[in-house]
Amino acid sequence: MLGFGALGESALGEVPAHALALTQDVLQKIVTKFVEDGKLCGLPPELHHYTSLDTAHRIIEGDDVRLSHAEYSNDQTEMEEAKEIIKTRLSARAGIDQFYAQVLGDYQNLAPKLDAFIFCMSTGLQIATGNSPDMLSQWRAYGQDGRGICLTLNTSDLSRLVENTPGLRINPVIYERTTQALFIDAILDAAFAAHQGGDPSARAAAVAALVYTTPLMKAPGFVEEREWRLIFMPPAGVAPRLKFYPRRDFLAPFVTLNQIWFTLQPAMIAIPALAALLSSIRAVPHVPPLIPVIHIMGGPSGHATLTQRAMQKLVAQTAHRGAIQVSISAIPYRSLA
């Protein structure tokens, strides 16, 4: 399924499997159509994650990444704005048919307790030959003002994890308000058509699709990030043990990909209703490495060459890593620090 992966039961409680099947069908058709029309991007072969030296070291050596709760992202109102946009689109239709009013009520009951855990990546800078990870705005915002690291990941390998794990997916972020509204409207149109056709699962499927869409929307001011997300929304009955880390002046909850893959995934695919939603259980990816790093770039700092040599030594002594090219940013940027 383009960009999405298996739905799981999201935060919907005991939703019948056939309702989730309709949800998945609706989303697949909508995503495919939006990609074909150029409103969404197809999954690129590589995605880039900008981070600090310390975090990059831990990812390479420990073969794990942190998926942080979406409500604790740099966009302070992200989840709340997304929920409000969805409620607004539903409210505009609530007087047209009782179906929309019921979907609105169901969604409003669920919205306050939605959990979405995300790992952020970027397509990088668009250049004539494709995409480049050497992106100054990302170095400044997420790569320690140029003193950090950019890890390039193979999306084909990430997709294999997604295809085998309920509740896990890779999605592009939608920034443009018009596209956000069109995406929500497309879900409502498809669900209403199913309802008119007598499908008893249409209402639950509409709510499930809206829940799944909530962590895809972000304020237009962040558009230059060109973000993609690895998203995990725990299925009903799956309660991961959360970890926490201090961020600025608050404590942010997170789960790790290691925890999702090695602890939660086996338990989830043992549940028939969840396993049935996977398009196919593919061969388990060779792990380690769980995190498919294929290139490492040091930021444009005054000690970039030292960082490059250290990273080369780190990769060489990390048994589960093959040959990985380590390069240096070509941007002539002098850090403010």
The span from the CA of 30 to the CA of 24, in Å, is 10
Rounded to 5 degrees, φ, ψ at 114 are -75, 135
Q: Given this model, what pLDDT does residue 285 score? A: 65
Q: Given this model, what pLDDT does residue 27 score? A: 87
Q: What is the pTM of this model?
A: 0.89
The answer to whether residue 334 sits within a structural domain is no
The answer to whether residue 336 sits within a structural domain is no
- C-alpha distances out from residue 219 to 40, 144, 216, Å: 16, 23, 10
The span from the CA of 122 to the CA of 36, in Å, is 21
More confident residue, 246 or 9: 246
Q: What are 126's strand-pairing partners?
A: 131
- The tens digit of pLDDT for each residue in 239-266 reads 899 999 998 788 999 999 999 999 999 9
The answer to whether residue 3 sits within a structural domain is no
What tokens does 91 get? 């409210």
Please check the confidence at residue 215 and state whether its pLDDT lies above 70: yes
- The tens digit of pLDDT for each residue in 108-156 reads 998 888 888 999 999 998 887 778 999 999 999 999 999 999 999 999 9
The span from the CA of 162 to the CA of 136, in Å, is 30
**DSSP state letters, 184-199:** HHHHHHHHHHHHHTT-
The span from the CA of 134 to the CA of 323, in Å, is 21
Using pLDDT thresholds of 50, 70 and 90, give the confidence band for residue 281. low
Domain count, the chain: 1
44 contact partners, CB below 8 Å, separation of at least 6: 123, 131, 155, 228
**Chain-wide mean pLDDT for the chain?**
87
Would you call the peptide bond into 288 cis, given omega within 30 degrees of 0 as the criterion?
Answer: yes
The answer to whether residue 252 sits within a structural domain is yes
Q: Given this model, what pLDDT does residue 9 score? A: 33
Q: Is there a contact between 154 and 46 (Cβ–Cβ < 8 Å)? A: yes
Q: Given this model, what pLDDT does residue 280 score? A: 60
The answer to whether residue 238 sits within a structural domain is yes
Please check the confidence at residue 206 and state whether its pLDDT lies above 80: yes
The domain of 313 spans 17-328
The answer to whether residue 264 sits within a structural domain is yes
Q: Is there a contact between 152 and 296 (Cβ–Cβ < 8 Å)? A: yes
Place of tokens 């990088």: 124
The answer to whether residue 12 sits within a structural domain is no
Q: What are 247's strand-pairing partners?
A: 250
- Using DSSP, state whether 289 is helix, strand or coil: coil
